[in-house]
Amino acid sequence: MEEDKVWDVSDDDVEKFLSEAIRLVEECGEIIKEAVAKQNNREIDQKEENASEGHGSAVLTETDMKVEQLLIKGLSGKFTDHKFIGEENVSKDGLIKSYTNAPTWIIDPIDGTMNFIHSNPLVCTSIGLTINKKLVAGVVNCPLVGLLYSAIRNKGAWLNSRDNKLKVSGVKDISKALMVMELPVGANKEKKSVAQANLDIMMDRAHAVRCPGPAALDITWVGAGSADSYFHFGIHCWDMAAGALIVKEAGGVVLDPSSGQEFDLMSRDILVCSSQQLADQILSFLKSYKTERDMDEKLVYF
């Protein structure tokens, strides 16, 4: 069957795919910057299927749609046999209907939408590429602060150029760790209660706790050595795909936070850490919040 076809793609092909994705996300970055400068960054709709997950999960802007359409049009025009999973377009009803071995771009056009509508500069575009259902490339671009992170499977991760290779901090003890998490403002009572319990423990044990907002950027910062750990229950594959690969390629740990087992991109949960020792400490106290999966199929992505 076509969906079971194993794709034979060379290293040069992956380089070409990522190069085009970077070109397009940089173009999208200009759109995002212009929208903020002109105050065209206001909320236009609420995604009702995400309402119980918190205000940030339910916000939609005109720029979200514009950026995703540009990315899909640009990539599909260049690579006609590639597929797409996008937060605003392909999955606008909250469901992923198709996922095959074909080269598949998993797109979050604006991660940190709540930051975006408040003109906070911590806003990013995230694109991960899977082939044969394995992560092979990713890019996270934060245009308002000039940070573009990228990675290729088994080749490394970089900031802004191949001359600036990323490496995790290597922090092993939570007492020395800068921990990053999300505060689910507006979420249902159970999700808020779990977040508060985890925050209380970290405030007693961690060196620092931060809640910047965009999941893709929060994950990526662990790979960049700008944070030491991040966890989240209830985000989506488009929030995690690129950042997870960046952390892995920078020498970090990427796990399922509920079980401590291998990361599953469709599980909607993630724990990334600067070391396995730090991950073990966090797993010993971390309380979980269960959500519906993006897809039923369980897959290991590295």
Non-local (6+) Cβ contacts of 23 within 8 A are none
pLDDT for the residue 56: 45
Residue 62 tokens read as 């005109």
Domain 2-165 homologous superfamily, CATH: Fructose-1,6-Bisphosphatase, subunit A, domain 1 (3.30.540.10)
Kindly calculate the radius of gyration of the chain based on its CA atoms and give it in whole angstroms.
18
pLDDT score at 242: 98
Q: Write b or e for each residue in 22-43: b if 16 or more Cβ atoms lie within 10 A of its Cβ, otherwise e.
A: bebbeebbebbeebbeeeebeb
Record the tokens describing residue 270, joined without a space: 């993630």
Looking at per-residue pLDDT, the higher value among 43 and 180 belongs to 180
Give mean pLDDT, residues 213-225.
97
pLDDT at 54: 46
Mean pLDDT on 237-259: 97
Q: Report the topology of domain 174-283.
A: D-Maltodextrin-Binding Protein; domain 2 (3.40.190)
Hey, do 2-165 and 174-283 end up sharing a CATH topology, with the first three levels equal? Answer: no
Using CA atoms, how far apart are residues 43 and 114, in angstroms rounded to an integer? 9
Q: What is the pLDDT of residues 12-31, one digit of tens each?
A: 999 999 999 999 999 999 99
Q: List, in order, residues 6 or more apart from 193 with CB less than 8 Å away.
A: none
For the cut 50, the answer to whether the pLDDT of residue 300 exceeds it is yes
Look up residue 44 and give its two tokens.
Answer: 């236009």
H-state helical runs in the chain = 11-37, 55-58, 62-78, 113-117, 189-205, 215-224, 237-249, 276-283
Alpha-carbon distance 156 to 142, whole Å? 19
**23 close to 70: Cβ distance less than 8 angstroms:** no
Q: Is the pLDDT of residue 45 over 70?
A: no
Name every residue whose Cβ is closer than 8 Å to that of residue 278 and which is 6 or more positions away in sequence: 171, 172, 173, 174, 177, 228, 229, 253
Highest mean pLDDT among 53-67, 252-266, 287-301: 252-266
* pLDDT confidence band for 148 (50 / 70 / 90): very high
Active site residues: 87, 108, 110-111, 113, 239
pLDDT, average across residues 158-170: 97
What does the domain layout of the chain look like in residue ranges?
2-165, 174-283
Query: End-to-end distance of the chain based on CA atoms, in angstroms?
Result: 24
Name the band, by pLDDT with cuts 50, 70 and 90, for residue 41.
Answer: low
Who has greater pLDDT, 59 or 102?
102
DSSP bridge partners of 255: 262, 271
Look at residue 98 in the predicted model and tell me its pLDDT: 85
Average pLDDT of the residues of the chain: 91
